[in-house]
Amino acid sequence: MTASTRNKHAGKRYTYEWYVVVICMLAYVFSFVDRQVLALMIEPIKRDLHLSDTQFSLLHGFAFSLFYAVMGMPLAYLADRFARPRIISIGIALWSVATAACGLSQHFVHMFVARMSVGVGEAALSPGAYSMLADYFPKDKLGRAVAVYSLGSFIGGGVAFLIGGYVIALLKHTATLTLPVLGDLHAWQLTFFIVGLPGLFVALIFMLTVRDPQRKGLAQDSTGTVKRVSMLDALRFIAAHGKTFFCHYIGFSFYAMTLYCLMSWTPAFYMRRFGLTPVEAGYTLGTVLLIANTTGVFCGGWLNDWLLRKGRTDAPLRAGFIGAVCMLIPSVACTQVGSLGASLALLVLAMFFASFPMPTSAAALQTLAPNQMRAQISAVFLLVSNLIGLGAGTTIVALITDKVFASPLAVGHSMAIVNLVASVLAAALLWIGCRQFRASLERVALERHTSGADSARIPSDSAAPVLGASVR
C-alpha cells in the first residue's frame, strides 16, 4: 500500500461501509435464530411429530448441514462472478420462508424438506458477505469488520433461545391456536412463523440499500488479463498441501463437533436432567451464548494476534490447539456433575473455549490460500466442517442415546462421550498441523518469490490474514 493510498484510507470515514457490516451482521443474527430455535423446542416437536432423538438430530443437524455445506460451493462461485447483494437477498428470503414452513410441518418428511431449504438459503450469506467486506475495507480495517459480522452467529444463537423461551412462556397456557387459512397450530409451530417471517424485511432492506462494491485484488496474468480460478485449481492447491489441509479441515471439524454438540443438545440435557422448563432453558442458555461465546470469539482472535506478535507463524492452529485443550475438561464435566450451578459454570467455560475456532480457523485459510482461491477453499472447509461437526456430531449423540443407553435421560452421557473424543482428536490434529502449516507457509512464500509475472501481479494485501471470520 502506497503512502497516498494510506492517506486516502486514513481520511475516509467508512460510514456506509460499517452500515453494510451491521446489515450483514443482522442477517447473520436472523440466520442463526432460524437455525438454532429448533433445539429449544425439542420435546414438543418430538411429541407432536412422534420423533425419536435420532430423527430429531437429522432435522437439526443432517438436513440443514448437508445442503448448507454442499450449496456453499456453487454459491461461493456465483458470489465471485455476479451481484452479491442480490444473491444474499434471495438467500435471506428463502431461508425465512423455509423457517416459517417448518411451522406447517405435520410429519418428519415435511420438516426435513423445510430444514433442507433453510440450509440452502443460509449458504448464500457468508460467501457473499466476506467477499463484499474484503472489497469495502482496506487490510487494516477488514479484521474488525469481519469480527463484528461474525458476532452475529452467537448473538443469533442466544437470541433464538431467548425468543423461543419468551414465546413458549407467552403461549404456555394455550394448547393450540386457530388461525385463518392455516387452521389449528401448536405453540411451537407459531414460533417458527414469529422468528422466520421478519427475515423477509431484512431481505428487502438488503436488496434496496446494499451496493455491490467494485472488486479489487484480482490476480492477473502477464498480459494484464484477470485470471479465473476454477474449483479444480483450488483442489490441486489443497492436494499440494494435503497434510496441512487434512490437519486443518479435520481438526477444526472435530472442534466444531464439540461446539455443535453443546449448542444442539444442552437444552434437552437441562430439561431432562435438572427439570428446567423450556422457558428456563431458553433464558439460561441464551444468556450463556450471548456472554461466553461472543467473548470467546474476541479472545480467540486476540490470542491469534498475540501469538503472531511473538513470532509464531503457526498462530491460527496453535491458538486452536490451546482452545481445544482448555475445552476438553469442561465440555465433558458439564454433563456429569450433579449440581445445576456447577454444570452451568462448566458450560460457560466450555462455550468460551469452544468459540475459539471462529477467528483462528479462518485466519489460517486466509493466510495460506492464494487470493482467488480463498472462497472456494473455504467452501470445501465449510463442506467438511458442517458434515462432520453439525451433521455427524449431533446425530452420533442421538444414536448413542437411543441405541446404546436406550433412554432419553442418558443424553448427558452421550454428549460427554462425543465431546471427549472430538476434543482429543481436535487437539491432536491441530498440534500436528502446526508443523505442517509452518512448512506450507514456507513453500508458498518461496513459490511466490521465485514464480514469474503471474504471482508478481497479485497484490501483497491478498496474503494478509482475515481475523474473526466464521466457520459456519
Give pLDDT tens digits for 268-290: 999 999 999 888 888 898 899 88
Which of the four pLDDT bands, split at 50, 70 and 90, describes residue 10? low
Which of the four pLDDT bands, split at 50, 70 and 90, describes residue 470? very low
What are the cell numbers at 181?
387459512
Which of the four pLDDT bands, split at 50, 70 and 90, describes residue 456? very low
Alpha helix positions (H), 277-410: 278-288, 294-309, 315-333, 340-354, 357-368, 374-385, 393-399
CATH architecture entry for 14-463: Up-down Bundle (1.20)
Bridge partners (DSSP) of residue 383 are none
Q: For the chain, what is the radius of gyration of the CA atoms? A: 22
Question: What's the rounded mean pLDDT across residues 85-104?
Answer: 93
| pLDDT attached to residue 176 | 67
| pLDDT attached to residue 376 | 75
Which of the four pLDDT bands, split at 50, 70 and 90, describes residue 467? very low
Cα dihedral sign for 48, 183, 106, 259? negative
What are the cell numbers at 183?
387452521
pLDDT-above-90 percentage for the chain? 35
Whether 20 has a pLDDT exceeding 90, the answer reads: yes
Is the separation of the CB atoms in 383 and 370 below 8 Å? no
- CA pair distance 97, 91, nearest whole angstrom: 10
| pLDDT attached to residue 306 | 85
| pLDDT attached to residue 457 | 40
What does pLDDT average to over the chain?
82
| pLDDT attached to residue 459 | 39
Whether 2 has a pLDDT exceeding 70, the answer reads: no
Give the Cβ contact number of residue 3 at 10 Å.
7
Which 3 state secondary structure label does DSSP give 79?
A: helix
Whether 299 has a pLDDT exceeding 70, the answer reads: yes
Top pLDDT among 145 and 202 is at 202
Which of the four pLDDT bands, split at 50, 70 and 90, describes residue 149? confident
Is the separation of the CB atoms in 388 and 256 below 8 Å? yes
Whether 220 has a pLDDT exceeding 70, the answer reads: no
At position 78, the amino acid (one-letter code) is L
Which of the four pLDDT bands, split at 50, 70 and 90, describes residue 40? confident
Q: Which residue has cell 479441515?
A: 249
| pLDDT attached to residue 360 | 77
| pLDDT attached to residue 432 | 96
Could you please report the per-residue DSSP string of 120-187? Answer: HHHTTHHHHHHHHHHHHS-HHHHHHHHHHHHHHHHHHHHHHHHHHHHHHHHTTT-SEEEETTTEEEEH
Top pLDDT among 355 and 80 is at 355
Question: What's the rounded mean pLDDT across residues 422-427?
Answer: 97
| pLDDT attached to residue 371 | 63
- CA pair distance 58, 109, nearest whole angstrom: 11
Top pLDDT among 20 and 57 is at 20
| pLDDT attached to residue 63 | 82
Per-residue pLDDT tens over the stretch 345-385: 999 999 999 988 877 787 777 677 776 676 678 778 878 88
Question: What's the rounded mean pLDDT across residues 320-340?
Answer: 96
Question: What's the rounded mean pLDDT across residues 223-246?
Answer: 79
Burial 269-283 (b: 16+ CB within 10 A, else e): bbbbbeebebbbbbb
| pLDDT attached to residue 122 | 87
| pLDDT attached to residue 454 | 42
Determine which of 230-234, 292-296, 438-442 has the lowest per-residue pLDDT on average.
Answer: 230-234
Per-residue pLDDT tens over the stretch 395-418: 899 999 999 999 999 999 999 999
The pTM of this model reads 0.76
Alpha helix positions (H), 15-138: 15-40, 42-49, 53-57, 63-79, 84-102, 108-122, 125-136
